[in-house]
Amino acid sequence: MEQILQTTYLWLKAGHIIFVIFWMAGLFMLPRYFVYHQESEPGSAEEARWVDREAKLRKIILTPSIVMVWVFGVALASAMGFWSEPWLHAKLLFVLALSAYHGWLVSYAKKLAKGERAMSGKALRMLNEVPGLVAVVVVILVVVKPF
């Protein structure tokens, strides 16, 4: 039984890490796409290409990845009985915040597609740092388990 749990744990952990990498890549790319999108001429063919690229990134990478991150993460925490661990509670708080950030990016992409350019390129460049900062905190919580 212990061998099955250990094997399952390793596969769940591998799946979780793989989809976290995909999700993070998408979260780094989408705000950068927004910068280029906003720098394009409104109504131009280039702007239309950015709308298409953003939609594909969301549909092909971001949405499937966030779903699988949560599926593997919940399965991993359940299989290992981590639900009572304080470090997991802190990690979940940051992952929920990153999930909300993801949702905000999706809503901003839809606004951009309609021609609404509410943020500056500088602000979007700053937002591009959010996933990296969250990743640092989450990795420390999972590896070091400071509490």
Query: Residues annotated in the binding site for heme, as ranges?
Result: 16, 91
* Binding-site residues: 16, 91
State both tokens at 25: 């890549």
- In DSSP notation, 6-70 reads HHHHHHHHHHHHHHHHHHHHHHHHHHHHHHHHHHSPTTSHHHHHHHHHHHHIIIIIIHHHHHHHH
Q: Which residue has the tokens 């915040």?
A: 97
